[in-house]
Amino acid sequence: MGVFGRAAGHEQVVHCYDARTGLRAIIAIYSTALGPALGGTRFYPYATEDDALDDVLQLSKAMAYKAAVAGLDLGGGKAVIIGDPKRDKTEALLLAYGRFVDSLGGRYITACDVGTYVEDMDVIAKVCRFATGRSSANGGAGNSGVLTAYGVFQAMRAAAQHRWGEATMRGRRVGISGVGKVGAVLAGHLVQDGARVLVADVDDAAVRRTLQSHPDVTAEPVDSLPAQDLDVFSPCALGGALTAGTVDVLRAGLVCGAANNQLADARLAGVLHERGVLYVPDFVCNSGGLIQVADEISGYDERRATSRTAGIFETTLNLLAASERDGVPPAVAADRIAEARMAAAGGVA
């Protein structure tokens, strides 16, 4: 399939190259029907350029749906920079990237994602008017992982109320796969709420930091965590965590996590639904970070952003009620809500 076929449904895909710094980046804008396309920049060592394109197309579409369901007046976009951030990231490369983003005139607004951090957004903002997720010293909101984790926790509470009749994780066994920017903060919320938390991560240092902060948390190998006797499985690392193999061994009755594009195959949403596993779509429960950086556009107010993120609880309850009413998986119900809102604005749906 050609590049136009692969990007079907997207408004714009921009390939960015700078020979001097070695920058290779792709910016994908799925929709601006509801407003400028907001989404983070992922810095990742993709095996091929095709893999990078596939990822940015999927992520940008998810961002559009995320903004629509969250009730934000924003569209969806995403960017990827191809390379190893530990080796290839330089100030000159970030500045070159920032100039490309700025050249789009605000159609795309960037923020942090995997491999990029607050300090990187501060650098990009030197040459780009459309960078959020900056440090508080530079007029930003700081680490968006904080409200992302808070939003996932609110979605988890709502799902618990829907499934078990009580909006708490008290006494529940929750397995978090990935304890980086978001998963580690989520672990803290869960421990405070009385959950029994198990964690796993390919980064041993991340696990050690989490155990130091929360001594009652238990560490498990990444591969074996889904098969543990869990009430909740929470994917909080990279996408594609829910494969057919993972779903086969999954013992949890609820899946709710921060990772983007958790389903390796979209058909698995139906499989989970048929097996009685309540799957909260990732773009619903992880929208706290988007809400935070969106608030930064008009001048960040922490109380306002936190209050709006708390609204993920009601959004999730309403979604699960619609899913039950219509007899469809929550992922299908969420897609319908997002598509209806974009279509009403005259955009792609």
Q: Are strands 37-38 and 75-82 parallel, antiparallel or unpaired?
A: parallel
Instruction: Name the token pair of 129.
Output: 């008017």
Is 78 noted as a catalytic residue in this protein?
A: yes
Q: How far apart are CA 94 and CA 297, in angstroms?
A: 20
Query: Could you say which of 61, 66, 78, 89 is catalytic?
Result: 78
- pLDDT per residue over 104-126, tens digit each? 999 999 999 889 999 999 999 99
∠ Cα 203 253 206 (to 5°): 10
Whether 7 shows a pLDDT value over 80: the answer reads: no
Q: Where are the beta strands (DSSP E) in the chain?
A: 12-18, 23-31, 37-38, 41-44, 75-82, 108-109, 173-177, 196-200, 218-219, 232-235, 254-255, 278-279
- What is this structure's pTM? 0.87
Confidence of residue 2 (pLDDT cuts 50, 70, 90): low
- pLDDT per residue over 205-249, tens digit each? 999 999 999 999 999 999 999 999 999 999 999 788 899 999 999
The one-letter amino acid code at 85 reads P
What sign for the dihedral angle of Cα 137, 209, 238, 230? negative
- pLDDT per residue over 168-191, tens digit each? 999 999 999 999 989 999 999 999
The one-letter amino acid code at 267 reads R
pLDDT of residue 1: 62
Buried-state track 79-104, b at ≥16 Cβ within 10 A, e below 16: bbbbbebeebbeeebbbbbbebbbeb
